[in-house]
Amino acid sequence: MRDTFVRTLIEEAKKNRNIELITGDLGFGVLKPYFEELPNQFTNAGIAEQNMTGVAAGMALCGKTVFTYSIGNFPTLRTLEQIRNDCAYQKANVKIVCVGGGFVYGSLGMSHQATEDIAVMRALPGVTVVCPGDLVEAAEATKAIINIPGTVYMRLGRGGEKRIHESISDFKIGKAVKVKSASENTEKKVAVFSTGAILDEASEASKILEEQGIGTEQYSFHTVKPIDKDVIVSCAEKFDAIVTVEEHNISGGFSSAVSEVLGEYGKSVKLIRAGICDEYSSAVGNQQYLRNKYGLTAEQIASKVKSVL
């Protein structure tokens, strides 16, 4: 996913010389093609993420579209005051890119596990929150956020994510992508919503549920803010339950955003939430190990849905 982001950004930056990329002294293996081709549109701010964000805000207020790049919580929680005061409040065109959302860097412990970032970023007024689910969404999102005014947060996986979509012809920020429709010849039907790189587990869980006779319609919400209210309301009216899947704390995260829409529109539907249940992980391990520990594998998601239904 990060390679796709860099390739796409190179293409766009060649066409638009106002695009700048700032890194917090990392990612050089991945970013090398960018700074070799576009050295005058690249800055290494050093291991100083707060300064990186302040510099990005200054550049943006001088007319640039600036991407900041770091891993896990470093471009978000560590720099929250600078994002709030220097970027969001000023409506600066700063695009904050996190590589390693969720448990990607799980083996480095809770300091590197980005499990509250969606909640924090979507709480900031005027900040768009984008969490692509696969390589196709990552490429489309990178191109789209360049033209979104103001501050944007984009949460990526790392590398090796499965490609779920062949292509997306009508990608729009704020509009969920339909992955599959539910089978008609089933009694119970659910809608499975996911955000971010856990799209692979959500897709596999949807297949398992279909095989077990539960009609499943699936959507990828690459944008958490603004969220696609139309899809949420429509599914609440058609299905027995809505399932939300996120590699993130369910408090304040994607499922909370879906809940807010259901409450606002007065829709009564069973909501099944798959995510981290308001706790920090004391466990250390790779992403798949931690997904399994916190009930986020396809089999665990499907089993939870079936038990509730």
pLDDT digits (tens, 9 = 90+) for 93-114: 999 999 999 999 999 999 999 9
pTM of the model: 0.96
Contacts of 187 (CB under 8 A, 6+ apart): 213
Peptide bond into 226 cis (omega under 30): yes
CB atoms within 10 A of CB 113: 26
Q: State the average pLDDT for the chain.
A: 95
d(CA 273, CA 304): 9
Report the pLDDT value the prediction gives residue 159, as an integer from 0 to 100: 76
- What pLDDT digit, counting tens, does each position of 66-97 carry? 999 999 999 999 999 999 999 999 999 999 99
User: In angstroms, rounded to a whole number, what is the distance separating the alpha carbons of residues 287 and 171?
Assistant: 28
| Domains in the chain, CATH or no CATH each | 2-156 (3.40.50.970), 177-308 (3.40.50.920)
Residue 5 binned pLDDT confidence (cut-offs 50, 70, 90): very high
Block residue for tokens 């809770």: 110
- DSSP 8-class letter at 88: I
Return the pLDDT at 26: 87
Residue 217 · residue 191 · CB < 8 Å: yes
For β-strands 215-220 and 177-180, DSSP reports them as antiparallel
Name 65's bridge partners.
19
Q: Which two tokens stand for residue 197?
A: 């790189």
Asked whether the predicted pLDDT for residue 54 surpasses 90, the reply is yes
What pLDDT, on a 0 to 100 scale, did the predictor assign at position 152? 98
Contact 245, 304 (CB under 8 A): no
Q: Is 294 exposed, middle or buried (0-12, 13-18, 19+ CB in 10 A)?
A: buried
pLDDT given for residue 184 in this prediction: 81
Higher pLDDT: 227 or 1? It is 227
Q: What is the pLDDT of residue 28?
A: 82
**Rounded to whole angstroms, how far apart are CA atoms 127 and 218?**
26
| % residues pLDDT > 90 (the chain) | 92
Count other C-beta atoms under 10 Å from residue 263's C-beta: 9
pLDDT band at 251 (very low <50, low <70, confident <90, very high): very high
Mean pLDDT across the stretch 265-278?
A: 96
Q: How many residues does the chain have?
A: 309
pLDDT tens-digit readout, 162-202? 889 988 989 999 999 999 999 887 778 999 999 999 999 99
